[in-house]
Structure 1
Amino acid sequence: MSKTTYINEKKEPTYVQGIDSEASSSLDTLTALIAEDHGHEIKLRTMSWQKAAWLLAGEQVCLAIMAQSWSLSVLGWVPGIITMVVAGVLFWITSITMHKFIMKHPQIKDICDFGYYVFGQSRAAYIFTSIMLLANNILLIGFHILTGAKVINTLSDHSLCTVAFSAIATIMGIIMSLPRTLHHVSFMSMFSAACMALAITLFLVFAGLEEAPLYGYTGNYPSAGPVHTYAFPPPGTSWVACMNAVLNITFLWVPQILFPSFIAEMERPQDFPKSLAVLAAISSVLFIVPPAVGFRYLGQYATAPAFGSLSNPVWKKASFGFVIVPTLIIGVIYANVTGKFIYARVMGSSRHAHSNTLQGWAVWVAIMAAVWIVGFVFSEVIPSMGDFLSLLGAAFDSFFGFIFFAVAYWRLFRGGLFAGVGRSVMTVVHGLVMACGLFLLGPGLYAAVEAIIADYSGATTPAFTCANLAI
């Protein structure tokens, strides 16, 4: 194994905060990096902004959308929609700040490099961010394995032991993760987004057609009364439940942990805002409209995912079945980013890192298999992946969605934070971003841990179970 290397600080262009006088130096660095990459046998910096947009859509148009009706059922219309809109606005602002920072430091290849530069070229920050990257991504891979097992359980009426379905999903994930460039994965993302959009559309049609939902967390219909919606959290809703609903929303709107890796494989990283605009347009519709329609028809019976509330088993299978495609492909995206990070640490700057050699491909396949197998273990031993997603949202998204970008903004403009009305407004907004991150890291993390403790104190699904996990 080669020695872990850090970015060469001597190549870092000096940047006078708030002034674009070094823009040409950053552009020269970027041009040199692209030329170097194109001289390799395996070229990474090949994605157009259109391909990057598909990759973003494939990663974001996911099953988590179908958990938002449940968030609305906890928070009610007013707090729920406000949380969604604010999360969307902050997502756009922080993503643009992230892109500006990366364009000033074009040698950044992933979120770990980003943390390294944001916190003053700190190796401690690099190591800390690396640990969070691996933990976040592998837990999410485990979540997608578990979701794949749920889908197959539902479609097959539990024809096999659930752990066998999880193993099948893991093997499929390993095979699909073999392409080494995100350019190739972006083709999968097109199909992924289309399948998830179809699943959502079918759910909305079926939810509107059925007379009443079948199931809710408070009991089967009509044990909790007629379906109804409400403006604010119903009486008796706990603070922990509200906080987990908020975390559920922020988890969906905070994908930036992967963005530096995506930008690093674009042929023109400066075009990333175009890709981001496409994602923002898609997200603004899919992250709000389907959850709102789902809440309208499911009301207090909304589950996460909302497919579980459908009363007709044929309709449930017809809509939920399409989720298997985005479930696996999104897992592939997270595995690719994770695998590249590990691969770079193992292969260093050797020729195997960017050439079609037997050793290089053997190491890549071994890393992909290891990443998915560890994810498989997590999928089998964690009693409630939903609670752990809340934990990820509080512990990791607080940094990767808020704190990192508030600090990045300060580093970019610390020489003129209040130079003009526009800059002053953005400074205040990024102060809010920092406050949101700290809130998620404090009260949010507490609520997530409380939910996990409650799950462990009750009946939990045993590890490596054969129990039916169909929705």
Structure 2
Amino acid sequence: MTTLYPDEKKREQEENVGVDPHESDGSSPEYLITALVQEDHTHEIQLRTMSWQKAAWLLCGDQVCLAIMAQTWSLSVLGWVPGLITMVVAGILFWITSITMHKFIMKHPQIKDICDFGYYAFGKSRIAYEFTGFMLLANNILLIGFHVLTGAKVLNTLSDHSQCTVVFSVIATLMGIVMSMPRTLKHVSFMSMFSAAAMAIAILLFLIFSGIEAAPLYGYNGDYPTDGPVKTYAFPLPGTTWVGCMNAVLNITFLWVPQILFPTFISEMERPQDFPKSLAVLAAVSAFLFIVPPAIGFRYLGQYSTAPAFGSLGVTAYKKGSFAFVIVPTLVIGVIYANVSAKFIYFRIMGKSRHAHSNTVIGWGVWAAVMAGIWAIAFIFSEVVPSMGDFLSLLGAAFDSFFGFIFFAVAYWQLYSGRLFRGVGRSVMTVIHVFVMAVGLFLLGPGLYAAVEAIIADYSGSTRPAFSCANLSI
């Protein structure tokens, strides 16, 4: 199998659509965007068809997720002041780095995924391309595994553990495979509307139930009132470890770093220039949902907060009634990550063949096989990893440090090299991106250490056996 790297792909695309192959990168990006869209629209299966509105739904479907309900726990570890500061700073950096990413892609509109982005950001390095491809698959497949496990947890909770947990995981996996069959993100964005709505209902019900019940039932330090009356606090409680605080910070940054998917989303927009409109919708929704519900949850749960916060509710009917809606975003978000991962593998297998963009038996057969393989590997990870939560902290440190910070600091340098301090505004943005790089390196260093320490602690205690039938109800 011959791998076509982005510069080679671009050259072939330009030759196919009549663009001057000798034209330098970025010299006529608008013309190249038009040419790429026209070339795509000659295919039987057209990818570059999303409007900015559909892209906004796709973004919201990906971001309005169960991880929001873990932010209450982060606040309970960090306290109001460090917790809210971390949330606000993470949100600001998310917006700035996302805009930098979009500007870089507009300079190189042939970018189709985060691997192409890494290739250009690091000076057309094929090593960077392959390494980014490995990180993309490792990150996404482990995340899909987390969603398989979450699906099993929802089914366990709703059915009072009526089946072996492995059975529920198989059910979630099979549902994910079926839902992942659409090959365009335009169709997946339709699912995202229902996903975001279902998660919004789950959050609203949780807030209502946590407000009307007398007290939470369960906390990590014991059932209420073992740990005293419910209380909130400005700073971490005495005895809180550095590792605990670092994992709470990673939990917040993990929620705010979805950019690993953005290049693929942009590449399937009919007008990628409009992506900032979609991003603005996401930023507004995220700023509200990532801060307000967790803050209200912390107000009512205090030190009894769990991750997800549904687990702290004392009335079983409340817990089931709110948690039930999570099954929709759990599957749909798994589908989004599976789609991006499958395309990376699929186009490397199919190359330039007509099957890559046509409704052929071979094309659909390979797509189905790749998708089934991704979900099968994710299922295995969901069963053999003892604590997916701590492994997600590991992902946040190892991968989000690159995909949320380091990549975009490097891309900024590539965009403005030689004029980094030209004017006050540019100088300020340069300093901000130096800070972005520092944050990425901090997550990659101390953050990774904290995540590994948490995993070591998992293995030193009782761990969930592989392919266990144990009840995972919240």
TM range (shorter): over 0.9
Alignment correspondent of 2:111:
108
* Deviation digits for residues 267-304 of structure 1 (CA, Å, limit 9, x no counterpart): 00000000000000000000000000000000000000
For residue 189 of structure 2, the aligned residue among 167, 186, 204 is: 186
**Counterpart in the other structure of 1:14:** 24
Residue 3 of structure 1: how far off its partner (Å): 1.5
Checking the alignment, whether the CA contact within 8 Å between 1:13 and 1:105 is kept in structure 2 is: no
User: How far 1:149 moved relative to its partner?
Assistant: 0.2
How far apart are 1:414 and its partner, in Å? Answer: 0.9
Equivalent residue in structure 1 for 2:225, among 222, 225, 239: 222
What are the residue-to-residue correspondences of 1:185-334 with 2, within 5 Å? 185-334=188-337
Instruction: Summarize the alignment of residues 68-79 of structure 1 with structure 2, pairs less than 5 Å apart.
Output: 68-79=71-82
Structure 2 equivalent of residue 82 of structure 1: 85
Which among 119, 122, 128 is matched to residue 122 of structure 2? 119
The residue correspondences of 1:389-400 to structure 2 (distance < 5 A) are 389-400=392-403
Counterpart for residue 388 of structure 2: 385
Tell me which residue corresponds to 1:176.
179
Question: Following TM superposition, by how much is the alpha carbon of 1:13 offset from its aligned partner in structure 2, in angstroms?
Answer: 5.3
After superposition, give the CA deviation of every residue in 1:433-457 in whole Å (9 maximum; x if it has no partner): 0000000000000000000000011
- Shifted more, 88-97 versus 28-37: the winner is 28-37
Paired with 1:396 and 1:34, the residues of 2 have a C-alpha distance of 31
Alignment of 1:289-438 (within 5 A): 289-438=292-441
Runs of 4 or more, structure 1, over 2 Å off, are 8-15
Partner of 1:468: 471
Once the 2 structures are TM-superposed, how far is the Cα of residue 14 of structure 1 from its aligned partner?
3.4
Whether 1:4 aligns to 2:3 is yes
Within 5 A, what are the aligned runs for 1:93-104?
A: 93-104=96-107
* Deviation for aligned residue 1:73: 0.3
SS at match of 1:215: coil
Say how many residue pairs are matched.
463
Q: Shift in Å at residue 5 of structure 1? A: 1.1
TM-score (normalizing by structure 2): 0.97
Partner AA of 2:145 in structure 1 = G
Secondary structure, counterpart of 1:201 in structure 2: helix
| Distance (whole Å) between structure 2 residues aligned to residue 90 and residue 430 of structure 1 | 9
The percentage of counterpart residues that share the same residue type is 78
TM-superposed deviation, 1:7: 1.6
For 2:440, the aligned partner's letter is G
Q: Deviations over 1:323-374 (max 9, x none)?
A: 0000000000000000000001100010000000000000000001000000
**Partners of 1:250 and 1:421 in 2: how far apart?**
29
Matched, 1:29 2:28: no
The residue identity in structure 2 corresponding to 1:379 is S
Classify 1:238/1:340 alpha carbon distance in 2 versus 1 (closer, same or farther; 3 Å).
same
Equivalent residue for 1:139? 142
Q: Cα RMSD over matched residues?
A: 0.9
Inter-partner Cα distance in structure 1 for 2:459 and 2:136: 26
TM-score, normalising length: structure 1: 0.97
CA distance in 2, matches of 1:423, 1:58: 33
Deviations 1:148-185 (A, max 9, x none): 00000000000000000000000000000000000000
**SS of the residue aligned with 1:246?**
helix
